A and B are shown apart, each in its own frame.
Chain A
Amino acid sequence: MAGATVRIEHLTKLYPDGTRALDDVSFEVHPGDFLVIIGLSGSGKSTLMRCINRLIEPTSGKIYIDDVEITALPVGELRKLRRQIGMIFQQFNLVKRSSVLTNVLAGRLGYVPAGWSLTNYFPSDLRLRAVESLTRVGIPEKAHTRADQLSGGQQQRVGIARALMQEPRLILADEPVASLDPATSHSVLKYIEEMNRRDGITVMCALHFLSLARRYGTRLIALKGGRIVFTGYPKDIDEARFREIYGEEAVEVEIA
């Protein structure tokens, strides 16, 4: 299955308290892109991510996923489209008291009949698939461990396995490694990169470190104060651009 195309037109998000989180944002993501979004905290990265699957309702503007206008879909259709969009979070957002397997299976909830799933029953082929997803991220032996018993890196890998269960065509990764140490960051990003390269899934990934952006990104946009200040390739970000995005006093910090 090919990755999805994302087209964003004049997207604006105004919060009730008057904050203009996104201001007339337009860009396009091609199938199979690994798009990195950089910008300071509060520049609108998280809001942008959540507008794409409408966890946050945009104030105005249009978002197309493969020419389907997600911003115009009724709730039922929206849920069907959300199944194809995997999401990975900074805080992993696992259900801590549930087992790893249940957390991974939860990625499939959009596909299974509601009545069955409410009893925590999943057909055996799905359970097998869940274990396969865990194998792909290297922790099949943790299937029956409680999620809160895992280390940060392992929890994020469960988050990736959960997204894999959706058979997504688009991955939204909101600062997936911001809570992890440098070594773990690389292992987590490699799994996301593998989904992008091997399965051709389009990835949109918010990152804090330019070194990581250069290493993993195929394309890059930069947000500042809710506006796009740069669109291009990671290698094009030089010192001057960096200052422009992060402010005059910023110094680039390397992550090994």
Chain B
Amino acid sequence: MANETLTRPVPPAIPRARVRPWTFFLMIVGLAAIYIYGWQVTQINLGELVTSTRLIRPLVRDLVRPDILARVPLRQEVRVPFSFTPEGAPPMPAPAADGPRIALSAPVGRPGQTVTVRGEGFAPGRPGQIIWTDQSGSSAPGEEFVTDGEGRFTVPVEVIDLIGQHHTLGVQVTLQGSALRPSSAFTLVLARLVETVFLALMGTTIAVLFAVPLSFLGAKNLMARTPVGAAVYVVVRTILNITRSIEPLIMATVFAVWVGIGPFAGVLALGLHSIASLGKLYSEQIESIDPGPIEAITATGASPLQVVRYAVVPQIVPPFIAFTIYRWDINVRMSTVIGMVGGGGVGFLLIQYINLLQWRQAATAVWGITIVVAAMDYFSAKVREKVV
């Protein structure tokens, strides 16, 4: 047949594999060596996770039952002043017309002397106790007694030695039953959480005040037009980069030494770190603005100020707001850690509870942090969605 010599398409040449088998083998051996060393140097011991569960058990158990509510025994309590010297003794308040009231045989006395305390109007047949409170507010328990069938009692009390001159003598009568109240750990965690959110807010605000002007100096498209500007740009960017590389945790340690342990040290640490990170984000935003609108608004005969207002501001303000809220969100999360090294806020409380092995109280703090951080995260995401 004439058409037998049809040309068949030449199959394309298969390219040779670039990595040869023995190179591949060497790579595997090398990687294995790296990971074996890594395993040893980081002391990875998976067995420990199983054999030592007993150590973590109380922690996990208490995590699911945080200390939020406490049963507080119901009490009747009355206090009156008592002084060691008559000079400067506060006046005795008039006794209440009804309800529990007490009277002393003498409002002044020395340690070791005996005063008689009479009470009436208390719950009948209930145990009670004398409580001494000195000027500094610290208390010491005194004599115990039981009220009679009509809610009265008479008890001789020996004056105990207290620091200072003017004190109070209190009577507590325990009633039947108890009340459910927010625990002291809960109220403390709540107060510290509020402090934490505001700590982050103040740190972020301080950062914004410094980062906005710095970001213009750190924007290449604005600064690189002149040699001086280029030098300023390099200096600003270098400082921002160095500052950003220092962990806020370390900054908080330094500031805690400088201005003392407390939220102010945290504000300074978060503020300084946020200046660096916001400054970089802001200036990158300025660098990425579209020059087109600037050209267009200039072409309409607008003044330079109008050009900034209509062509530049709409391009940078929404992202600036978004970055700032995101930073606040990060700072709330970070301030919990910063508290651990003395930067104030709820972290400080948490590390105290952990050190005292008060796991249920620690659990309260952990849950509080989780809820606040999650809420901030959600809120900041919502706002950013709206703004950008």
Contact = CB atoms under 8 A, between A and B. Distances in A.
Given A82-B300, A83-B301, A93-B295, 9 more contacts: A81-B301, A82-B301, A87-B296, A97-B314, A106-B300, A107-B300, A109-B310, A117-B310, A118-B309
Contacts of B292: 89, 91-93
Interface in A54-107: 55, 79-83, 85-87, 89, 91-98, 102, 106-107
Given A94-B293, A109-B310, A117-B309, A79 B303 contact: yes
B295 A109 contact: no
Interface string B297-313: 11111110110011100
A94 B296 contact: yes
Contacts, number: 81
Residue from B293, B300, B315 whose CB has the most chain A CB atoms within 10 Å: B300
B302 A109 contact: yes
A23 to B, nearest CB: 24
Interface string A107-119: 1111100100110
Interface residues of A, number: 34
A133 interface: no
Contact of A95 (B301, B302, B305, B315): B315
B318 interface: yes
A70 B290 CA distance: 27
**Which among B299, B302, B311, B318 has the highest number of chain A CB atoms within 10 Å?**
B299
**Lowest 3 CB-CB distances: which A-B pairs, in order?**
A110-B301, A93-B292, A83-B301
B301 A55 contact: no
Nearest to A165: B300
Contacts of A108: 300
Nearest to A76: B303
A93 B300 CA distance: 12
B315 A97 contact: yes
A61 to B, nearest CB: 20
Nearest to B312: A95
B295 A166 contact: no
A169 interface: no
Contacts of A91: 292
18 contacts: A80-B301, A82-B298, A86-B300, A87-B296, A87-B299, A89-B296, A91-B292, A93-B290, A93-B296, A94-B296, A95-B293, A96-B293, A106-B297, A117-B306, A117-B309, A118-B305, A118-B309, A166-B301
Contacts of A157: none
B299 A118 contact: no
A219 interface: no
Nearest to B303: A114
B295 A95 contact: no
A53 interface: yes
A252 B50 CA distance: 78
Contact of A114 (B296, B300, B305): B305
Contacts of A95: 293, 297, 310-311, 314-315
B314 A109 contact: no
A55 B298 CA distance: 8
A45 interface: no
A256 to B, nearest CB: 29
B296 A162 contact: yes
Contacts of A82: 298-301
Nearest to A108: B300
A93 B311 CA distance: 10
Interface string A146-164: 0000000000000100100
Q: Pick from A53, A109, A110 the residue with the most CB of B within 10 Å.
A: A109
Contacts of B302: 79, 106, 109-110
Contacts of B296: 87, 89, 93-94, 106, 159, 162
B306 A109 contact: yes
Contacts of A92: 292
Interface in A122-167: 159, 162, 166
Contacts of A102: 310
Interface string B240-263: 000000000000000000000000
B355 to A, nearest CB: 50
Nearest to B296: A93
Contacts of B315: 95-97
Contacts of B293: 93-96
Given A95-B293, A106-B310, A118-B309, A53 B318 contact: no
B234 to A, nearest CB: 22
Contacts of B311: 95
For B297, B301, B310, which residue has the most chain A Cβ atoms within 10 angstroms?
A: B301
Nearest to B307: A109
Nearest to A49: B299
Interface in B249-294: 290, 292-293
Q: Which of A86, A95, A111 has the most CB of B within 10 A?
A: A95
Nearest to B291: A93
Nearest to A117: B306
Contacts of A120: 309
